[in-house]
């Protein structure tokens, strides 16, 4: 990677880093939020849902607009909106006696901005890099996302020592410089936009899906299940570590960071190792989902902290290894002028996985600890079966 390209890519890696903070940084602070605003666990979960749902709904439109007008002109305003939404939530908590509803409005605005960011960074990376170098770059991009997941529990726990709403202000502090860097320093390749009408665009897009439908839907499902599992487990243990193990504050952030560190590290290594080994992509994806199933079923028997953390570490590994090949399959499924919407649809299902993970795991507690993780394991196993039956790597279309 050339030095000039490396600088641009470093800035792009900042996009998934700050995006993942949107939910992950708040999870360790859920108990404090519940107490400070005198709300229920369900209402706390809506702080994630009100961010993730608008992000997921708007991602495909951002993808279409980026294919038509360019990545940067959509991504930069979206980044600014993301930061502004965070500040609205923060100031609502700072200035209002009953901040819950205005805080949710800020989260909606923040989620709206998130709808045009990480997936467009993936698409722009796919535009800049080709073939084997693309897989390495996407692995680094996913690792940046994973690194954000690693540090976000620590950031959330540490900043919340100031006050429970302090993390909301960090969104603006981090986002605005990255938005300026993308606008002024990242060079977007020319000639990748389309001037087609939406009807013409949709017709050709349907051709892409008719040609690659099974692989794309399989990748979408696996990616969604992966994030559903990760955030469901993290939200569950955010409470369990406090109630059962009496782990609080930064120590809890460190403990929650273990599975996401494993995911980030394995994601990076997977991207590097598999960049020139496309024949292994399907095997890794299926094996990763099988390992996810096994680790979920191993969680209930452990009542000691060390054994539990070892299992959670391998859960992170199992999810991390599948993400780079999934990303490469999706970004390489079509030509550059259609890549934005294809990757954005992937972002939609990922966000929906994040949105439904915490409340679903919360509702599944009614099944008991064993019932909850058996159900989660069954979902992960279904993703492995779908990957085995429908995902078929093919040559990239440049």
The domain spans of the chain are 3-188+208-390
**Tens digit of pLDDT at every position of the chain (398 positions):** 566 677 888 899 999 889 889 998 999 998 899 899 999 878 888 898 899 999 888 887 887 788 788 889 999 999 999 999 999 999 999 999 999 999 999 999 999 999 868 778 888 888 887 766 777 787 788 778 778 878 888 999 999 999 999 999 999 999 999 999 999 988 888 766 767 677 776 776 677 777 788 889 999 999 999 999 998 998 889 888 988 999 998 899 999 889 988 988 898 889 888 877 888 999 999 999 999 999 999 999 988 999 999 999 999 999 999 988 998 888 777 776 667 667 777 878 888 898 888 888 888 888 999 999 999 999 999 999 999 999 988 654 44
Question: What is the reported pLDDT for 397?
Answer: 44
Question: pTM of the entire structure?
Answer: 0.78
* Domain 3-188+208-390 -> CATH class: mainly alpha
Question: What is the reported pLDDT for 131?
Answer: 62
Question: What is the reported pLDDT for 372?
Answer: 96
How does 123-132 read in b/e, with b if 16+ C-beta sit within 10 Å?
A: bbbbbbbeee
């Amino acid at each position: 990677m050339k030095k000039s390209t490396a600088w641009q890519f470093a800035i792009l890696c900042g996009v998934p880093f700050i995006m993942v903070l949107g939910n992950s940084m708040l999870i360790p602070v859920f108990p404090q939020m519940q107490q400070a605003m005198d709300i229920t666990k369900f209402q706390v979960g809506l702080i994630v849902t009100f961010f993730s749902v608008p992000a997921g709904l708007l991602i495909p439109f951002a993808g279409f607009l980026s294919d038509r007008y360019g990545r940067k002109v959509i991504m930069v305003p979206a980044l600014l909106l993301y930061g502004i939404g965070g500040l609205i939530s923060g100031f609502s908590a700072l200035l209002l006696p009953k901040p819950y509803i205005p805080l949710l409005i800020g989260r909606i605005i923040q989620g709206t901005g998130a709808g045009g960011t990480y997936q467009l960074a993936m698409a722009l990376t796919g535009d800049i890099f080709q073939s084997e170098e693309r897989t390495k770059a996407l692995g680094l991009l996913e690792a940046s996302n994973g690194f954000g997941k690693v540090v976000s529990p620590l950031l959330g726990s540490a900043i919340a020592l100031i006050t429970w709403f302090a993390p909301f202000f960090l969104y603006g502090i981090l986002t605005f410089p990255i938005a300026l860097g993308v606008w002024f320093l990242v060079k977007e390749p020319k000639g990748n936009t389309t001037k087609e009408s939406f009807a013409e665009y949709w017709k050709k897009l349907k051709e892409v899906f008719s040609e690659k439908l099974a692989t794309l839907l399989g990748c979408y499902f696996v990616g969604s299940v992966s994030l559903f599992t990760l955030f469901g487990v993290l939200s569950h243990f955010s409470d369990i570590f406090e109630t059962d193990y009496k782990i609080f504050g930064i120590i809890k952030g460190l403990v929650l960071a273990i599975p996401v560190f494993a995911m980030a590290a394995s994601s990076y290594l997977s991207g590097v190792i598999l960049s020139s080994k496309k024949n292994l992509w399907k095997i890794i994806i299926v094996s990763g989902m099988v390992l996810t199933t096994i680790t979920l079923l191993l969680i209930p028997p452990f009542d000691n902290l060390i054994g539990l953390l070892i299992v959670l570490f391998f859960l992170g590994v199992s999810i991390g290894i599948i993400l780079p090949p999934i990303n490469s399959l999706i970004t390489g499924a079509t030509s550059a002028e259609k890549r934005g919407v294809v990757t954005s649809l992937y972002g939609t299902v990922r966000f929906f996985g994040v949105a439904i993970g915490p409340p679903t795991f919360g509702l599944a507690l009614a099944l008991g600890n064993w019932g909850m993780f058996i159900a989660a394991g069954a979902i992960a196993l279904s993703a492995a079966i779908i990957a085995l039956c429908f995902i078929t790597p093919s040559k990239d279309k440049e």
